């Protein structure tokens, strides 16, 4: 038998395609399920505060309908009618998905746009499809090219094209960060360290009492759920969303703003000093407006709700610290034998640089009576967006003294509101069990 001989039967004859009547029936069933979710969405809007069962029913209808319509599209992707059904289902799914599932609303919107575009492509004559698809591919891969050439020194063409055209597109498809990792040096990785404070009552003197809990994102080994650690590194990329900062004090032209920030910072410098060996302006990291307005409150809400119940969430606040891990240089590793007094561990607490991102909590929403919202509690906090140093002790720790550590943890001092205490008091047993355990990051 000649293997190179052309087959006598085409693939269509060997595996006949699904009939249009079956595909249409499956597609309309899915479309009906999604439409039912959209109707329930109108009912929920009319009620104002619907019971949870309505939202749950909407989710089941949307997901069942989306899978069913997807099956119909996979049966006959060569027909524009099936893609039109998919586009309609995506639009209805946006209306049927509850508002607090906003990420899925965005997903269904993107699906509707892709399905609508492919519907038009199949309706267009074949001689127009190839040029349109070619333009789309050239646009996409040109964006990847400009993303690789944007780190300084940046060519003028790359700077203009990336800033004016490609940034929104590549940010949407999340294809810009990976191209910058090693151009030319990788930036420091970050983790999120939070202190949750839950009010538990008052003592005999009427002072409020709190239960404290540290929370780390991501955390090993809890977040390593597969042999390659992909789940951990996926969560590690979440922290990079908080690393997007503006130039801050370095390029601020407002002298009054600089003076106000520095005055507030210096007011607590006798408790928390500036990091030694660094310019003071580089120790202030102002997040981008989108981070401070949307990302940070979203993270704070998730962290509180993840670690409390409905009865205590309203009594809980969370202090968030973005902690950069400074990689030791080759020279520091090479000189450890000659300089025995230097830091030899790459996980020593002084290699971490915490930036305070604020304290968040739930407050009454003035725009919606009876509802609450998450927000920054004290925008005038002196340490807000400043580096809080972890420094080695200058004096050696006496032998047998298990209360004092070989470093001063100003992050724990700030988080536990113990600025009025000296460092020796913070290391006393009543506070030692409450400070952050840096061994968690190893």
The DSSP symbol for 313 reads G
pLDDT for the residue numbered 176: 67
pLDDT for the residue numbered 246: 79
Strands (E), 238-368: 316-325, 352-364
pLDDT for the residue numbered 34: 95
pLDDT for the residue numbered 365: 84
pLDDT for the residue numbered 227: 81
pLDDT for the residue numbered 253: 57
Low pLDDT (below 50) residues in the chain = 1, 400
pTM, rounded to two decimals: 0.66
The 10s digit of each residue's pLDDT in 257-293 is 778 888 888 888 888 888 888 887 788 888 888 888 9
End-to-end CA distance of the chain: 63
**Three-class DSSP category at 80:** helix
Binning the chain into helix, strand and coil, the percentages to the nearest 5 are 50, 15, 35
CA pair distance 412, 193, nearest whole angstrom: 11
């Amino acid at each position: 038998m000649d293997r190179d001989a052309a087959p006598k039967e085409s693939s269509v004859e060997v595996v006949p395609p699904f009939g249009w009547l079956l595909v249409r029936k499956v597609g309309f069933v899915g479309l009906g399920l999604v439409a039912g979710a959209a109707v329930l969405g109108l009912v929920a809007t009319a009620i104002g505060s619907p019971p949870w069962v309505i939202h749950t029913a909407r989710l089941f209808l949307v997901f069942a309908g989306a899978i069913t319509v997807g099956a119909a599209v996979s049966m006959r992707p060569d027909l524009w009618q099936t893609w039109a059904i998919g586009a309609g289902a995506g639009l209805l799914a946006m209306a049927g998905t509850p508002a607090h599932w906003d990420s899925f609303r965005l997903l269904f919107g993107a699906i509707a746009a892709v399905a609508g575009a492919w519907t038009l492509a199949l309706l267009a004559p074949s001689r127009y499809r190839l040029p349109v698809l070619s333009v789309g591919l050239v646009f996409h891969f040109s964006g990847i090219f400009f993303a690789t050439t944007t780190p300084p020194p940046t060519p003028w063409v790359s700077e203009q094209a990336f800033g004016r055209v490609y940034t929104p597109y590549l940010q949407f498809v999340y294809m810009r960060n990976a191209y910058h990792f090693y151009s030319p040096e990788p930036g420091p990785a970050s983790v999120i360290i939070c202190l949750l404070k839950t009010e538990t009552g008052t003592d005999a003197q009427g002072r409020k009492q709190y239960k404290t809990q540290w929370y780390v994102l991501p955390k090993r080994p809890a977040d390593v759920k597969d042999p390659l650690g992909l789940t951990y590194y996926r969560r590690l990329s979440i922290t990079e969303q908080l690393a997007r900062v503006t130039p801050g004090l370095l390029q601020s032209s407002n002298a009054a703003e600089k003076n106000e920030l520095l005055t507030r910072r210096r007011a607590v410098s006798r408790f928390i000093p500036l990091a030694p060996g660094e310019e003071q302006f580089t120790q202030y990291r102002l997040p981008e407006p989108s981070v401070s307005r949307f990302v940070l409150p979203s993270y704070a809400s998730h962290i509180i709700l993840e670690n409390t119940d409905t009865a205590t969430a309203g009594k809980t606040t969370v202090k968030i610290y973005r902690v950069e891990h400074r990689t030791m240089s080759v020279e520091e590793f090479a000189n450890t034998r000659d300089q025995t007094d230097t830091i030899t561990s790459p996980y020593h607490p002084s290699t971490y640089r915490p930036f305070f991102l604020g304290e968040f909590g739930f407050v009454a929403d003035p725009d919606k009576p009876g509802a609450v919202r998450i927000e920054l509690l004290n925008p005038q906090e002196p340490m807000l967006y400043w580096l809080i140093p972890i420094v080695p002790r200058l004096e050696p720790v006496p032998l047998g003294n298990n209360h004092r550590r070989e470093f001063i943890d100003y992050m724990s001092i700030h988080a536990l509101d113990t600025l009025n205490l000296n460092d020796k008091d913070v290391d006393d047993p009543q506070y030692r069990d409450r400070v952050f355990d840096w061994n968690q990051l190893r």
